[in-house]
Homo-oligomer: A and B are copies of this chain.
């Protein structure tokens, strides 16, 4: 572990060197550069078919929550329905996503990936997982645990709770 972060005073106080403005600033820049690396591979694949990150996000969450409704997706993605609709329209027209009228509530549309959509999702997610796995492997398990911990604290708490509720609902049913 970084020596500069482990120093303590002999009175036992936490050393707060990891909270200096300069350390924080480095973290901010690292986040910016890392996010670029994080999206680079899927971006290339998406560009081949004329899609963007918006399509990737929709595909990803439909894969995780098959049968989810449009409203649900709106909450997770945090965009307007007009914006999502443009993306979804294209995915449906291209035969990657299927939209079925809800059984209990026929106003709702339940969204599913088609076989073609599943294949594309696999291509995207394998590319991205490869990159993240390489970073994880290089950094080691302790670093990964810390990485996840900081990210959890950086999210909007409401969104995090909402998302975990969705996951529980999915896994519990």
Chain A interfacial positions (CB closer than 8 Å to B)? 1-2, 5-6, 14-15, 18-19, 21, 23-38, 40, 57, 60, 64, 78, 125, 128-129, 131-156, 159-160, 163
Among B6, B28, B140, the residue within 8 A (CB) of A132 is: B28
With A136-B19, A139-B153, A154-B131 as contacts: A144 and B27 at CB distance below 8 Å: yes
Q: Say yes or no: B40 contacts A156, CB within 8 Å.
A: yes
With A141-B6, A145-B5 as contacts: A155 and B33 at CB distance below 8 Å: yes
Among B14, B64, B140, B147, the residue within 8 A (CB) of A147 is: B147
Copy count, this protein chain: 2
Q: Say yes or no: A149 contacts B156, CB within 8 Å.
A: no
For the complex of A and B, the 4 pairs showing the least CB-CB separation, nearest first, are A146-B146, A143-B146, A135-B153, A147-B150
With A33-B159, A144-B150, A154-B34 as contacts: A132 and B24 at CB distance below 8 Å: yes
A-B contact pairs, 15 of them (CB 8 A): A2-B145, A5-B145, A19-B136, A23-B136, A25-B64, A27-B136, A27-B147, A28-B60, A30-B155, A34-B152, A37-B155, A40-B156, A135-B150, A139-B153, A143-B150
Among B15, B30, B149, B159, the residue within 8 A (CB) of A139 is: B149
